[in-house]
């Protein structure tokens, strides 16, 4: 979807929508979103990818690390290491 709509719409519409999913009141929704963090980040425009991840995605990921639901934490744990190649050594 991100490649189809382009980087500007991704930044203005899809990133905020993904943030809403990461903060949803339903644990199942948060778990499903957490499971897609790596895929979502990999498909961001390479020129703004690191900035979007650091400012718009990681703060939500940090909150999910302390989520009271084990399924959410498990989903996040299965993909979190996939962010390291995207972000490099920062």
- 87 pLDDT tier (thresholds 50, 70, 90): confident
Q: How large is the average pLDDT for residues 4-10?
A: 87
Domain boundaries, the chain: 2-87
Q: How large is the average pLDDT for residues 30-51?
A: 94
For the stretch 18-30, pLDDT in tens is 999 999 999 999 9
For the stretch 65-85, pLDDT in tens is 999 999 999 999 999 888 888
Q: Look at residue 31 in the predicted model and tell me its pLDDT.
A: 98
Asked: is 2-87 a CATH 1.25.10 domain? The reply is yes
HEC-encoded secondary structure of the chain: CHHHHCHHHHHHHHHHHHHHHHCCCCHHHHHHHHHCHHHHHHCCCCCCHHHHHHHHHHHHHHHHHCCCCHHHHHHHHHHHHHHHHHHCCC
pTM: 0.88
């Amino acid at each position: 979807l991100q490649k189809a709509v382009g980087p500007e719409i991704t930044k203005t519409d899809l990133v905020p929508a993904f943030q809403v999913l990461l903060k949803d009141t339903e644990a199942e929704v948060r778990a499903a979103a957490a499971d897609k963090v790596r895929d979502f980040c990999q498909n961001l425009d390479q020129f703004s990818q690191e900035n979007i991840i650091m400012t718009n995605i990681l703060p939500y990921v940090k909150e999910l690390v302390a989520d009271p639901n084990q399924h959410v934490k498990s989903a996040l744990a299965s993909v979190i290491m996939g962010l390291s190649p995207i972000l490099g050594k920062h």
